[in-house]
Amino acid sequence: MTPRDALASILPAVGWPITLSDNVAFPGGVDPILPTPYRIGVAGAATLGATGLAVEDLWALRTGRRQSISVDVRQATASLRSGHYMKLGDGEVSARRNSIMGVYPTKDGRWSYLHCNFPNHRAAALSVLGVAEDRDAVAKAVLNWNAQDLEEAIIAAKGAGGMVRTAAEWATHPQAAAIAALPVMEVIKIGEAPPEPLPPGNRPLSGVRVLDLTRVLAGPTCARTLAEHGADVLKITGAHLPNLGYQEWDTGHGKLSAQLDLRQPADVETLRGLVKDADVFSQGYRPGSLGGRGLSPEELAALRPGLVYVSLCAFGHEGPWASRRGFDTVVQTVSGITSRQAEVVPASTPGPQFYPVSAIDYCTGYLMALGAMVALGRRAREGGSWMVRISLAQVGKWIVDLGEVPEAAARAAPEEFSAEELDRWSMVSQTPSGPLKHLGPVVELSETKPHWARPSVPLGYHKAEWVARPG
């Protein structure tokens, strides 16, 4: 399985011929690049290559000119944990997880994963277990539970986590069957609108306005990718919502950042006012969560005909888990990835293991950006309002379906890139909090060099309004 093969497997989902995959060059190595059986290099390079094709298509729509596209496979793999390669001022940006987040043995001899990075999810798990925030106390409490019972109890308490399953067990689960019936992503027409040419400008996405209501990694990576090619991105979060600070530095490149409280009708109306002047609305709430606030795909398409509505969730819009909370690590846990990772590359501690990057998150973000750009192209050519629909679990299945590298090769792969490589791939942005060293864009285009026109900023740094983009 090569990056070109993987790219070809994506293109039918957006209505493009698989032969377009021949238009992307993939230098820089082959899997295994890091110690995992999964073809994460192929996955990262293919999804980034897909964004390159979409950028090239929009540039041709603007100018009639084509571009050559290249994606370094090793650099693409590093991008799947770009949050680990940051330095703010003289200090590292800590990506340390909460101390009680992790996997624990259960009463029935299985393992349970507790996702506890956010305070509300941590509180939910602790309330179910009836203990204080202490790893030893949590471990003892988990031993009183059967894994599946604990999974359901934590979900019922509005927490996040799951029972560790093997791939064979997941294959028999009704949610796995629902996901298997879906493509990796969908681009769907949801309303009528006249054709709308791309706004004027000298970059592929110049003048395209994006509202980013997503959190954590996948959704914010989508908007960061659109900003990389010239879009004006306004990130909207709430002061009351928990966040992981280091991730905001990683995914905030190119964005304005404002805060609204969508529990307040006045702030919802402010957001709807911003939608009227937007081109893309990207959100990562569970299916149906925004419908009661006038922010559903159909409601916003009626408010702003021609809108591209990007919708991300954890487990897809079909099946018994359609409304379930989830993250990259949860999907890895329940679908057999952590079980298989531990079989092939055992760690010093027993139990399931996560692979060494956040492949599902970042690849999902790249595919969301692909979908948004494909929809913008369709809007320009044929009109309409569009929805891009995707889930972490759909992308997780796609990654697993890419196959595995030989086990011995996976175990022998180095754990880190060379210092020279990381330095070559990095850049420095001047942020309000000091110079931030971080990985730069991966995709190489012959005419329009990807770059971010704005640095990452603290959440809520700007007002909730559209402003002119810097040059």
List strands edge to edge, sheet with 111-114. Answer: 102-105, 111-114, 161-163
Tokens for 234?
A: 């306004």
Mean pLDDT over 100-113 rounds to 96
The whole-angstrom distance between residue 433's C-alpha and the CA centroid of its chain comes to 25
Would you say 222 and 374 are in contact if contact means Cβ atoms under 8 Å apart?
no
Q: Identify any residues that bridge with 186 across adjacent strands, giving them in sequence order.
A: 389
Would you say 393 and 189 are in contact if contact means Cβ atoms under 8 Å apart?
no
pLDDT tens per residue, range 180-212: 999 999 999 999 999 999 999 999 999 999 999
Judge whether residue 2 has pLDDT over 50: yes
Strand 24-25 to 69-70 pairing:
parallel
Sequence-distant (6+) residues with CB within 8 A of 156 are none
Question: 32: cis peptide before it, omega within 30°?
Answer: yes
pLDDT attached to residue 471:
46
The predicted model scores a pTM of: 0.97
pLDDT category at 232 given cuts 50, 70, 90 is: very high
Q: Could you give the CA distance from residue 381 to residue 383 in angstroms, rounded to a whole number?
A: 6
Tokens for 229?
A: 């090619």
No. of helices (H) and no. of strands (E), the chain: 18, 17
| SS3 state at 114 | strand
* Placement of tokens 């060293």 in the chain: 437
pLDDT attached to residue 243:
76
Strand 209-213 to 280-283 pairing:
parallel
Q: Could you give the CA distance from residue 349 to residue 346 in angstroms, rounded to a whole number?
A: 8
Mean pLDDT over 46-69 rounds to 98
pLDDT tens per residue, range 130-148: 999 999 999 999 999 999 9
Q: What count of other Cβ atoms lies within 10 Å of the Cβ of residue 253?
A: 29
Cα end-to-end span (Å), the chain: 41
Count CA within 13 A, CB hemisphere, residue 226.
37
pLDDT attached to residue 470:
52
pLDDT tens per residue, range 319-353: 999 989 999 999 999 999 999 999 999 998 889 99
Q: Which of 223, 224, 216, 218 is nearest to 97 (CA)?
A: 216
Buried b / exposed e over 441-450, threshold 16 CB at 10 Å, is bbbbbeebeb
What's the Cα-to-Cα distance from 210 to each of 157, 224, 236, 277, 281, rounded to whole Å?
A: 33, 10, 10, 9, 6
Query: To 10 degrees, the CA torsion angle through 115, 116, 118, 123?
Result: 120
**What are residue 386's phi and psi, to 5 degrees?**
-135, 150
Sign of CA dihedral 352, 355, 358, 362: negative
Ramachandran quadrant class, 391 (left: phi over 0; alpha: psi -120 to 50; beta: rest): beta
